[in-house]
Amino acid sequence: MRYPKTAKEIMDFQLHGRLPKESPTPETPLRALLAAIYPRDRSRLGAIQLGPELGFNCRLVFDNAEQLLRWLGHNQTVRNNAPLAYQSHQDSRVSKVTLAMLNKHLVKPMDDKTFKDISHSLKRQGFL
């Protein structure tokens, strides 16, 4: 059950009986790609620097893919359509991010074996 947490939510509940609305965070092409990569393989990626090619208007650097995935709101919900931090940096014109694009933005690019392993697992899942 969703419980009211802020003063406005408590007031809405007391006056109108409305509980806060929770919804999943908006999807991004980068988040879809990272979520499709197995956690074991995500740990092999290393530091990632965001950029316009990945759909973001910033150059933030994340220590690993898991940290970036959490920042992108993976498996999170928002209350009353509250924006998350990544939404202010997002470029909505980017509709697809590939593994090759992601590899260009790794601080230390993947070796060929890792790239092939991840690419093969994405193909098996029907992502590529």
Which residues in 71-99 are b (16+ Cβ under 10 Å) and which e? bbbbeeebeeeeeeebeeebeeebeebeb
pLDDT at 13: 82
Q: Per the structure, how many domains does the chain have?
A: 1
74, part of any domain:
yes
Given a contact cutoff of 8 angstroms between Cβ atoms, the answer to whether 31 and 72 are in contact is: yes
12, part of any domain:
no
102, part of any domain:
yes
pTM: 0.83
Domain housing 81: 24-124
Residue 95 and residue 47: Cα distance in Å, rounded? 23
pLDDT tens readout for residues 11-53: 888 888 887 778 889 999 999 999 999 999 999 999 999 999 9
